[in-house]
Amino acid sequence: MIYSQEAEASLIGACLLDPSQVDVASAIVAAEDFYLTHHRAMWSAIQQLAMGDGVDVVSLHELVIDYQGEYGGLQGLVELTRNTPNPQHAKHYAEAVHDKALRRRLQISLDELGERLKVPNSELAEVIDQAQAKLAGVMGQRAGKVKPVGDWLLSWVDELDARFNGQIDPMGVLFNIPELDAKTSGMHPEDLIVLGGESGMGKTVVAAHILDSVCLRQNKPAVMFQLEMRKEQVLNRVMGSHTGIKLDALKNPQRHMDSEGWQQITAGVKVAKEAGLVIDDRPGLTPTQMRAAAKRWKEHYGELGCVIIDHAGIVQPDDKSIPREQQMAEVSKSAKILAKELSCPVILLAQINRENTKRGDKRPVMSDLRESASLEHNADMILFIYREAKHNPDCAYPGVAELIVAKQRDGEVGTVNVVCDLSRSRLLPATAENISAYHREFPPQAAPAAEPERFAV
| Binding residues vs ligand ATP (CB under 6 A) | 197, 199-205, 228, 247-248, 351, 422-423
Closer to ligand ATP at the Cβ: 351 or 431?
A: 351
Closer to ligand ATP at the Cβ: 90 or 277?
A: 277
Cα 341 from Cα 386, distance rounded (Å): 31
Instruction: Please name the residues in contact with 14: beta carbons below 8 A apart, sequence gap of 6 or more.
Output: 21, 25, 84, 86, 87, 88, 89, 90, 93
Distance in Å, CB of 112 to ligand ATP, minimum: 53
Distance in Å, CB of 247 to ligand ATP, minimum: 4
Distance in Å, CB of 232 to ligand ATP, minimum: 14
Distance in Å, CB of 421 to ligand ATP, minimum: 8
Closer to ligand ATP at the Cβ: 60 or 205?
A: 205
- For residue 216, the 8-state DSSP code is I
Give which of 285, 275, 188 is closest to 235, Cα–Cα. Answer: 275
Distance in Å, CB of 297 to ligand ATP, minimum: 23
Closer to ligand ATP at the Cβ: 186 or 196?
A: 196
Distance in Å, CB of 3 to ligand ATP, minimum: 47
Sign of the C-alpha dihedral computed for residues 371, 377, 380 and 383 taken in this order: positive
Closer to ligand ATP at the Cβ: 31 or 314?
A: 314
Closer to ligand ATP at the Cβ: 192 or 205?
A: 205
Sign of the C-alpha dihedral computed for residues 309, 313, 314 and 320 taken in this order: positive
| β-strand pairing of 346-351 with 400-408 | unpaired
Instruction: Please name the residues in contact with 372: beta carbons below 8 A apart, sequence gap of 6 or more.
Output: 366
Count CA atoms within 13 Å of residue 310 on its CB side: 26
Closer to ligand ATP at the Cβ: 54 or 200?
A: 200
Q: How are strands ordered across the β-sheet holding 414-421? A: 277-280, 222-226, 306-310, 346-351, 192-197, 381-387, 400-408, 414-421, 426-429
Distance in Å, CB of 205 to ligand ATP, minimum: 4
Residue type, 118: K
